[in-house]
């Protein structure tokens, strides 16, 4: 099974650095991210039109690199989560996890017994490179798959912040992620990322992850956010998303070009 670079780096005391895909599903994207130095990627299925076939193709292409590939599923639902894992993903991120019950449902769908309740599908699909194995090896294969899998709870509501310790303490939860955009709007301060209450909530997410010895992920879009949120204690960085990086780089280049031609 493909190793999980995200987990490996975190275990070594390093900060994994990744990226999120909202728009681009082309076969070259995984290699572009590899050249750029990404350790992990999050493929989004919550806020765009990516279907399961799009996502499975991306997972397959990413498996030709050493980048850990995660998918943000639309909701905590077995069919979303198990299909992502059976397609060879290293893990799943679930939106707006508010309770330990929701987190348990996520773990149940993503991991095999004794940690979860995922249906067994190994040796026949991309999650095991289509390689079979003797029935006597089943327990070992399940344990290795569980160890490789990263289950990420996205915290983006005050209710989730209130239940942080119960969520983070749950066996099988491997990381917390701050969904700062929704967190701010659900707190009644949309777009105000310097609100003191919002910053306290962000720090609470990072501190809960630290107490339970799991990564705290955040997705800054500029250097100021990066520095501030690292200072709050976040230990894994998903740098911006494909749309923002491409748009901003093209806008800067277009402005330079228009200035050069007198426009």
- pLDDT over 70 for what percent of the chain? 100
pLDDT score of 223 more than 80: yes
Question: Over the chain, what HEC string results?
Answer: CCCCHHHHHHHCCCCCEEEEECCCCCCCHHHHHHHHCCCEEEEECCCCCCCHHHHHHHHHHHCCCCCEEEEECCCCCHHHHHHHHHCCCCEEEECCCCCHHHHHHHHHHHCCCCCCCCCCCCCCCHHHCCCCCCHHHHHHHHHHHHHHCEEEEEECCHHHHHCHHHHHCCCCCCEEEECHHHHHHHCCCCCCCCCHHHHHHHHHHHHHHHHCCCCEEECCCCHHHHHHHHHHCCCEEEEEEHHHHHHHHHHHHHHHHHHHCCC
pLDDT score of 110 more than 90: yes
pLDDT score of 159 more than 90: yes
CB 195 within 8 A of CB 185: no
List pLDDT tens digits, range 113-137: 999 999 987 767 788 788 888 889 8
pLDDT at 2: 84
What is the CATH number that goes with domain 5-260? 3.20.20.60
List pLDDT tens digits, range 34-45: 999 999 999 999
Indicate the pTM of the whole model. Answer: 0.95
Q: What is the mean pLDDT of the chain?
A: 96
Tell me how far apart the alpha carbons of residues 81 and 157 are, in angstroms, rounded to a whole number.
21
List pLDDT tens digits, range 163-175: 999 999 999 999 9
pLDDT score of 62 more than 80: yes
List pLDDT tens digits, range 23-33: 999 999 999 99
CB 15 within 8 A of CB 39: no
- Residue ranges per domain, the chain? 5-260
pLDDT score of 98 more than 90: yes
């Amino acid at each position: 099974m493909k190793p999980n670079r995200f987990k490996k780096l975190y275990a070594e005391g390093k900060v994994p650095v990744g990226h999120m895909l909202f728009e681009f599903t082309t076969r070259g994207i995984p290699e572009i991210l590899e050249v750029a130095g990404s350790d992990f990627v999050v493929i989004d299925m919550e806020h765009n039109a990516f279907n399961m076939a799009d996502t499975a193709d991306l997972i397959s292409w990413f498996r030709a690199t050493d980048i850990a590939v995660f998918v943000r599923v639309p909701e905590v639902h077995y069919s979303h989560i198990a299909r992502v894992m059976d397609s060879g993903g290293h893990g799943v991120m679930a939106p707006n996890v508010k309770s330990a019950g929701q987190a348990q449902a996520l773990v149940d769908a993503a991991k095999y017994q004794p940690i979860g309740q995922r249906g067994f599908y190994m040796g026949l699909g991309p999650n095991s490179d289509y390689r079979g194995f003797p029935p006597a090896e089943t327990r070992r294969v399940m344990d290795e798959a569980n160890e490789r899998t990263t289950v990420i709870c996205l915290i983006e509501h005050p209710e989730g912040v209130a239940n942080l310790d119960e969520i983070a303490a749950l066996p099988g939860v491997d990381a917390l992620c701050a969904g700062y955009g929704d967190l701010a709007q659900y707190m009644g301060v949309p777009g105000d990322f310097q609100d003191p209450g919002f910053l306290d909530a962000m720090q609470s997410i990072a501190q809960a992850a630290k107490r339970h010895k799991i990564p705290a992920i955040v997705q800054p879009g500029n250097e100021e956010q990066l520095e501030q949120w690292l200072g709050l204690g976040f230990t894994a960085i998903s740098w911006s998303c494909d749309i923002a990086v491409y748009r901003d780089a093209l806008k800067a280049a277009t402005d330079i070009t228009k200035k050069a031609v007198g426009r």
